[in-house]
A and B are shown apart, each in its own frame.
Chain A
Amino acid sequence: MIACFSLILMCQLAGEILVRAARVPVPGPVLGFMLLFGVLLLRDRVGPLARGPLAPGRIEGTAKGFLAHMSLLFVPAGVGVVQKLDLIAAHGVAIVAVLAGSVILTMLATVLTFLVVGRVVAPEGDRQ
């Protein structure tokens, strides 16, 4: 588990370093996500890599256990609402209404685009 967590941190660290070195406006963890994905694909092609945290099923197990508790990680930032109570008192209703409207519009636009495009390109995609 320590080895798996180290691998995840190393990907994030490499992501942060690359982002700063290349000065691209991409978040470090997002680049780390792509790096870990690349490492996993590489493991399937290069046999000797499949050991330690990359042995079949190991990083998979750790990552899934971690992802199952993702909601918890938003609690500390969310409690920051206590610092904004005066602002919430002044504009809270408007802010909540704007965010609710936007989240519904965003979900509708996304799901409809996905379904419509999926229907149009599905035959080609399924041919593989």
Chain B
Amino acid sequence: MTASPFSLWVYLSQTPLLWLTVTLVVYALADALSQASGRNPLLNPVLHALWVIGVFLHLTGTPYQVYFGGAQFVHFLLGPVTVALAVPLYENRRVVRRALVAMLLALVVGSATAVSSVVVLAELVGLPRDIVLSLAPKSVTAGVAMGISETLGADPALTAVAVILTGIMGAIVVTPMMNRLGITDFRARGFAAGLASHGIGTARAFQVDELAGTFAGIAMSLNALVTSLLVPLAVTLLVR
């Protein structure tokens, strides 16, 4: 006789196919919704894909490790997409060269603020030390931040969550905040978005303006570089 629906589920829920499909379908729906809303920041596709998949895993009692078995194929692409950012940098190299000094100083100030503000604020509200350490690299892209967290002896899984939350909040806040401040220079807006909220902020910047997206991409990759040098230093100085 044919397999019962239950044994079919038992089989499928252990295969990468199901979880890869769930990841892509839920994201595609969240993205379509975001597009239909004219890219309303509150309909951020990552935010809504996360909770839908999270609830689905919870209802089906699926452990995260089983889900990640399928989703890892998507996760892996975080590395190559960082490399691909060289293309918009190359195409806009003349605009970038004109803004080089401003970019480098904004990079140093921004990176230092990103790391020190999170460490100081976290200590102020009295979060335990292992959480403080895990939050420190939150402004850089997931793969890099998890690596930094590991070298600190912190919790890379918590760091990944902090990274994604930071990215989502940055992507939601950036457009209304910059509009309210009356900042119309899309190079500066994009650079700030990419520096503070890495790939999710960069994806948001590309939705708003191509030049903003390019500067966001540069900020994201340079910040990954600076933060990996800065975090160990800041942690020695700031964490009690």
Interface set of A (CB-CB < 8 Å, partner B): 5, 8-9, 11-12, 15, 25-30, 32-37, 40-41, 59-60, 62-64, 66-68, 70-84, 87, 91, 94-111, 113-115, 117-118, 121, 125-126, 128
Q: A40 CA to B192 CA in the complex, in Å?
A: 26
27 A-B pairs (CB sep. < 8 Å): A8-B83, A25-B151, A27-B144, A27-B147, A29-B143, A33-B83, A37-B86, A70-B199, A72-B27, A75-B27, A75-B50, A77-B75, A77-B163, A78-B160, A78-B161, A79-B67, A80-B161, A82-B54, A82-B64, A96-B169, A98-B122, A98-B127, A102-B118, A105-B113, A111-B189, A115-B102, A117-B106
Q: Which residue of B lies closest to A88 (CB)?
A: B161
Q: A97 CA to B64 CA in the complex, in Å?
A: 26
Shortest CB distance A92–B (Å): 10
Q: A114 CA to B96 CA in the complex, in Å?
A: 12
| Residues 130-168 (chain B) with a chain A CB within 8 angstroms | 131, 135, 138-139, 142-144, 146-147, 151, 157-158, 160-167
Shortest CB distance B15–A (Å): 16
Q: A109 CA to B189 CA in the complex, in Å?
A: 11
Given A71-B200, A73-B199, A117-B105, A30–B225 Cβ distance below 8 Å? yes
Interface set of B (CB-CB < 8 Å, partner A): 23-24, 26-27, 31, 44-46, 49-50, 53-54, 57-58, 64, 67-68, 71-72, 74-75, 77-91, 93, 98-103, 105-107, 109-110, 113-114, 117-118, 121-122, 125-128, 131, 135, 138-139, 142-144, 146-147, 151, 157-158, 160-167, 169-170, 173-174, 177-178, 181, 183, 185, 187-189, 191-193, 195-197, 199-200, 202-203, 206, 213, 217, 219, 221, 224-225, 228-229
* Chain B residues within 8 Å of A70, by CB: 81, 199, 202-203, 206
Question: Chain A contact residues: over half helix, strand or loop, or mixed?
Answer: helix
Shortest CB distance A76–B (Å): 3
Q: Are A72 and B74 in contact (CB under 8 A)?
A: yes
* Chain A residues within 8 Å of B165, by CB: 95-96, 99
* Chain B residues within 8 Å of A34, by CB: 86
Q: Are A110 and B106 in contact (CB under 8 A)?
A: yes
* Chain B residues within 8 Å of A118, by CB: 99, 102, 185, 187-188
Given A82-B57, A99-B166, A105-B117, A40–B86 Cβ distance below 8 Å? yes
* Chain A residues within 8 Å of B107, by CB: 110
Q: Are B87 and A75 in contact (CB under 8 A)?
A: no
Q: A117 CA to B102 CA in the complex, in Å?
A: 5
Q: A103 CA to B202 CA in the complex, in Å?
A: 14
Q: A98 CA to B135 CA in the complex, in Å?
A: 9
Q: Which residue of A lies closest to B231 (CB)?
A: A25
* Chain A residues within 8 Å of B169, by CB: 96, 99-100, 103
